[in-house]
Amino acid sequence: MKILGIDPGTQVAGYGVIETTGSKITAVEYGAIKPNKNQNFPQRLKTIHDKIIDIISKHQPDQMAIEEVFYSKNIKAAIKIGEGRGIVFLCAATANIPITEYAATVIKKAVVGNGHAHKCQVQEMVKIILGLTEIPKPADASDALAIAICHSHNIR
């Protein structure tokens, strides 16, 4: 089974594709979508949309997973993240791929065993679980892989 994890954002959106075979989990591809800073907001959303559709076309994931939006004191930033999440949901719906949301604490607990783990602990465990030689970069990609790993644990 292939799972596409997305760490939503409108400045940087992380993605990670994993494949599960029994209890073995391997990284297929990961990275970050970074729209051009000179693009207006609708163009940034289109860039994110187009790249996610390309990833879906290339890897044909069976499932998608995304981090839930968290409350922020900066309402404007939270709304923009929500708009970016909407693009991810649109991509999943367009490709008829089921998508599941997970709270950050659930993701951390699934990967590290502690819902309040530090980011560096999550990154190290992603590296270990996937048998990688180094921590996936950028951090958004590592987060997306953690989301996909969390989903793989929950669907077993």
DSSP character at residue 11: S
pLDDT score for 62: 98
Alpha-carbon span 29 to 31, nearest angstrom = 7
CATH topology assigned to domain 2-155:
Nucleotidyltransferase; domain 5 (3.30.420)
Residue 56's CB: how many other CB atoms inside 10 A?
19
Active-site residue among 7, 19, 29, 101?
A: 7
pLDDT score for 76: 85
pLDDT score for 71: 63
Q: Are 6 and 150 in contact (CB under 8 A)?
A: no
Active-site residue among 19, 50, 67, 134?
A: 67
User: Is 62 designated active site?
Assistant: no
Alpha-carbon span 7 to 145, nearest angstrom = 9
The residues, any chain, with a CB within 8 Å of residue 132's CB and separated by 6 or more, are 27, 126
pLDDT score for 74: 81
Three-state DSSP state, 33: strand
Closest CA to 18 of 123, 110, 111, 151: 151
* Ordered per-residue pLDDT tens for the chain, 156 residues: 999 999 999 999 999 999 999 889 999 999 999 999 999 999 999 999 999 999 999 999 999 999 997 766 788 888 888 999 999 999 999 999 999 999 999 999 999 999 999 999 999 999 999 999 999 999 999 999 999 999 999 997
pLDDT score for 72: 63
Residue 74's CB: how many other CB atoms inside 10 A?
9
Residue 60's CB: how many other CB atoms inside 10 A?
12
User: Is 67 designated active site?
Assistant: yes
Query: Side by side, which strands form the sheet with 99-102?
Result: 24-33, 13-21, 2-7, 63-67, 99-102
